[in-house]
């Protein structure tokens, strides 16, 4: 008998360059494919590391990449320039801008430079027509305000990566036409409130991700995450929209392709 293939999925946000995966990347990409995760976007959080992240994307056919300055590094790294981001976007495997955003939980003291950096990334997303990848933590009010101000100045697309903020920011993002991405957090037993926020969102605006090596879903919570576990998160939250796993997986892939228009296998 021919084995039934698992539903196809995309891990919309992972960090393959992190040292947690050293010596194992071939196996990790292979395990992801076995779980149905045939594509992934690996995220560069410091522009100085972009060559290494790009090399990973160029090594594996199903791996794409994005680059930007993480908000927690905004005061430690040179300010990203529009020209640099536009140049990076010329690479065929470069599919998104970021991650960027605001983090007032760990680095509230650098809020002004975080906001300046965020606006540079937004302009790059606007000019390249690539999706902006947002990290937001304990900064919901400023995040919603800046995203809306910038959208009024000129439309751009965006995903709220690893969404775990409040319902007001979710509504503000959805009102702008943006997407929410569910990580393993949404599958945690005590995340009922977060799942309720996702339930209020249209299913055609939902992505799934790992943020690996962080935030592994059950039954691996507390251990190293990896892209293949995208399937565990998708299986755990499909019922939020009253869907079976296969249908939900198919919907999230359609959503990903609509947003990440460059991330197609040749």
Whether residue 265 lies inside any domain: the answer is no
Is residue 151 part of an annotated ligand binding site? no
Q: Is residue 77 part of a domain?
A: yes
Domain count, the chain: 1
Q: Is residue 33 part of a domain?
A: yes
pTM of the predicted model, to two decimals? 0.96
* E strand or H helix that includes residue 128: helix 111-128
Cα–Cα distance between 45 and 162 in angstroms, integer?
15
- Chain centroid to CA 192: how far? 21
- Structure-derived torsion over alpha carbons of residues 222, 242, 254, 56, reported in degrees to the nearest 10: 10
Q: Angle CA(197)–CA(202)–CA(207) in degrees, nearest 5? A: 80
Give a yes or no: residue 61 inside a domain.
Answer: yes
**3-class secondary structure, 89:** coil
Nearest to 157 by CA among 116, 129, 198, 117: 129
Rounded to 10 deg, the angle between the 111-128 and 140-153 helix axes is 40
Q: How far apart are CA 100 and CA 90, in angstroms?
A: 19
**Tokens read off for 246:** 């296969």
List % helix, strand, coil for the chain (3-state, nearest 5): 45, 15, 35
Looking up residue 154, the CATH number of its domain turns out to be 3.20.20.140
| Beta-strand runs (E) in the chain | 9-14, 37-44, 63-67, 94-103, 132-137, 158-160, 179-182, 206-208
Q: Is 217 in contact with 187 (CB distance < 8 Å)?
A: yes
- The answer on whether 161 is annotated among ligand-binding residues is yes
Element (H, E) at 50: helix 50-59
Does 201 map to a domain?
Answer: yes
Residue 15 assigned to a binding site: yes
SS3 category, 14: strand
* Three-point CA angle 229, 132, 45, nearest 5°: 65
CA distance 4 to 205: 28
CA gap 135, 143 in Å, rounded = 10
**Tens of pLDDT, residues 141-196:** 999 999 999 999 999 999 999 999 999 999 999 999 999 999 999 999 999 999 99
Beta carbons of 231 and 9 less than 8 angstroms apart:
yes
- Tokens matching residue 53: 């992240």
Residue 243 forms part of a structural domain: yes
**Does residue 1 lie in a domain region?**
no
Q: pLDDT per position in the chain (266 positions), as tens?
A: 556 889 999 999 999 999 999 999 999 999 999 999 999 999 999 999 999 999 999 999 999 999 999 999 999 999 999 999 999 999 999 999 999 999 999 999 999 999 999 999 999 999 999 999 999 999 999 999 999 999 999 999 999 999 999 999 999 999 999 999 999 999 999 999 999 999 999 999 999 999 999 999 999 999 999 999 999 999 999 999 999 999 999 999 999 999 999 998 76
Domain that holds residue 221: 9-259
Residue 202 located in a structural domain: yes
- Answer whether 201's CB lies under 8 Å from 171's CB: no
58 annotated as ligand-binding: no
Strand partners, 40: 11, 63
């Amino acid at each position: 008998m021919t084995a039934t293939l698992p539903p196809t999925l995309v891990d919309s946000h992972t960090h393959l360059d992190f040292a947690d995966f050293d010596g194992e990347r071939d196996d990790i990409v292979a395990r992801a494919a076995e779980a149905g995760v045939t594509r992934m976007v690996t995220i560069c959080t410091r522009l100085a590391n972009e060559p290494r992240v790009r090399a990973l994307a160029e090594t594996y056919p199903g791996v794409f990449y994005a680059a930007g300055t993480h908000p927690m590094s905004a005061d430690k790294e040179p300010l990203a320039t529009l020209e640099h981001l536009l140049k990076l976007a010329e690479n065929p495997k470069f599919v998104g801008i970021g991650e960027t955003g605001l983090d007032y939980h760990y680095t509230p003291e650098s809020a002004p430079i975080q906001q300046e950096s965020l606006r540079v990334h937004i302009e790059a997303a606007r000019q390249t027509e690539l999706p902006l990848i947002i990290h937001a933590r304990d900064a919901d009010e400023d995040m919603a305000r800046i995203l809306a101000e910038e959208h009024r100045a000129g439309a751009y697309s965006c995903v709220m990566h690893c969404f775990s903020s409040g319902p007001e920011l979710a509504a503000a993002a959805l009102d702008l036409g943006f997407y929410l991405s569910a990580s393993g957090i949404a599958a945690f037993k005590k995340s009922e409130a977060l799942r309720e926020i996702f339930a209020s969102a249209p299913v055609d605006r939902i992505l799934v991700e790992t943020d690996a090596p962080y935030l592994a879903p059950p039954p691996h919570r507390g251990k190293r995450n990896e892209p293949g576990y995208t399937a565990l998160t998708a299986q755990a939250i499909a019922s939020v929209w009253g869907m079976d796993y296969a249908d939900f997986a198919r919907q999230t892939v359609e959503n990903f392709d609509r947003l990440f228009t460059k991330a197609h296998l040749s």
